[in-house]
Amino acid sequence: MGILFTIFTFTATVLLLIIIAFLYLTFQIYSGKSIKNPDYPPVNGTIFSRIFYFNRLYDYQTDVAKKQKTFRLLGPGQSELYTTDIRNIEHVLKTKFDNYTKGKYNQDIATDLFGNGIFAVDGDKWRQQRKLASFEFSTRVLRDFSCSVFRRNAAKLVRVISEMAIVDQIFDMQDTLMRCTLNSIFKVGFGVELNCLEGSSKEGTEFMKAFDDSNALVFRRYVDPLWKLKKYFNIGSEASLKKNIKIIDAFVTNLIRTKRKLLAEERLCDDKEDILSRIFGGEQERS
Ligand SMILES: *[C@@H]1O[C@H](CO)[C@@H](O)[C@H](O)[C@H]1NC(C)=O
Ligand SMILES: *[C@@H]1O[C@H](CO)[C@@H](O)[C@H](O)[C@H]1NC(C)=O
């Protein structure tokens, strides 16, 4: 009898706790959200409803956005706003840009991969990098250089695809486009050939995979409430992320070191076309 009673009490307590947690979460999600107020964008469910569409999330969100240009998803203690309305986009990205910071929440998630780069910072740090980048991109040298790089890589893409078409080979278009893009970005940004479209460089391919995977893993943090705990214990997705970031860091550090050395030997002085060389070049001229 005693044992039965204990089991019963234990089960009842656990059930009660689950119910309380559920009610609390529901309250946090729905209270104070002006759900029916037409001054606010329409609600398209809760953020948890997106779990069912996680593997085709972009497609699903696009479908919804085709019907409602701006909509809300309710989350505990907050709402997420999605918009494809150009007036809103202009307001956020231009007119009132300073009001829409990335904020600590996003920074916590993104910093491990993006460091203090332009994609992860706000305010003065952002402005400084943005100024440097827009200055560089407005120079003729870089514009001409990037144009020719994009053209060359587009031609390469066509060649690779037609070769596969000739032999009736099935291929992954998204993967192929990603490789082509990375090739171009690396040439323009760092002045090196990654050669990942042809897959001829083992390091390049390894880097590409690490970069792609870590983007997905960082994105997963948004839906994984335990990511900080996993990071602390270095397990699961967080352990893979750490490993991937190590590969990325090693690759980029090596690249920068080589470039610095070449520049110091002035072997690159007529060839300061890529962004990295230009930034280092500016560094040397100023010092
Ligand atoms: C969200 O929007 C889609 C597309 O308009 C619609 O089919 C779906 O029922 C909406 N979901 C909710 C919960 O309003
Ligand atoms: C933007 O920020 C300023 C200053 O912090 C504030 O006064 C203003 O109400 C904000 N505007 C919007 C549209 O959020």
- The full set of domain ranges for the chain reads 1-31, 33-100, 139-286
- Taking CA atoms only, the protein residue closest to ligand 2 atom 14 is 99
245-250: long-range contacts (C-beta < 8 A, 24 or more apart)? 245/112, 245/113, 245/210, 245/214, 247/206, 247/207, 247/210, 248/113, 248/207, 248/210, 248/211, 248/214
pLDDT at residue 1, rounded to an integer: 65
Tell me which residues of the chain have a pLDDT lower than 50.
Answer: 287
* Cα end-to-end distance, the chain, whole Å: 85
Q: Which pLDDT score, from 0 to 100, does residue 113 have?
A: 94
pLDDT at 153: 93
Looking at the CA of 41, which ligand is closest?
1
Class of residue 58 by CB neighbours under 10 A (exposed 0-12, middle 13-18, buried 19+): exposed
* Cα–Cα nearest to 251, from 189, 214, 206, 215: 206
Ligand 1 proximity of 286 Cβ (cutoff 6 Å): no
* Ligand 2 centroid – CA 34 distance (Å): 21
Rounded-to-integer distance, Cα 145 and Cα 168, Å: 35
CB of 99 shorter than 6 A to ligand 2: yes
Q: Is the CB of residue 239 below 6 angstroms from any atom belonging to ligand 1?
A: no
Question: Which residues make Cβ contacts (< 8 Å) with residue 218, sequence separation at least 6?
Answer: 109, 110, 112, 113, 241
**Which pLDDT score is estimated for 261?**
85
Does the C-beta of 77 come closer than 6 Å to ligand 1?
no
Percent of the residues in the chain that have a pLDDT greater than 90, as a whole number: 55
The pLDDT assigned to 284 comes to 58
Q: Is the CB of 55 under 6 A from ligand 2?
A: no
> Which residue CA neighbors atom 3 of ligand 2 most closely?
99
pLDDT at 192: 83
Q: Mutation test of ligand 1: which of 35, 44, 66 has the most ligand atoms closer than 8 Å to its C-beta? A: 44
Our mutation pick for probing the ligand 1 site, out of 67, 68, 72, counting the most ligand atoms within 8 A of Cβ, is: 67
Counting ligands in written order, which one lies closest to the CA of residue 99? Answer: 2
Q: Say what the pLDDT of residue 18 is.
A: 95
pLDDT of the residue at 225: 86
Task: Determine the Cα–Cα distance for residues 53 and 264; give it in Å rounded to an integer.
Answer: 52
User: 45 CB less than 6 Å from ligand 1?
Assistant: yes
Q: How far does the centroid of ligand 2 lie from the alpha carbon of residue 100, in Å? A: 9
Which residue minimizes the CA distance to atom 12 of ligand 2?
Answer: 99
- Residue with CA closest to ligand 1 atom 11: 44
Long-range contacts of 37-44 (CB under 8 A, 24+ apart): 40/72, 41/68, 41/70, 41/71, 41/72, 41/81, 41/83, 42/68, 42/70, 42/71, 42/72, 43/71, 43/72, 43/73, 43/74, 44/68, 44/71, 44/72, 44/73
Assign residue 236 a region (left: φ > 0; alpha: ψ between -120 and 50; beta: otherwise).
left
Which string of b and e fits 238-260 if b means at least 16 CB within 10 Å?
A: beebeebbebbeebeeebeeebe
Phi and psi, residue 79, nearest 5°: -120, 150
Residue 42 CB–ligand 1 contact under 6 Å = no
Return the residue matching tokens 């070769």.
163
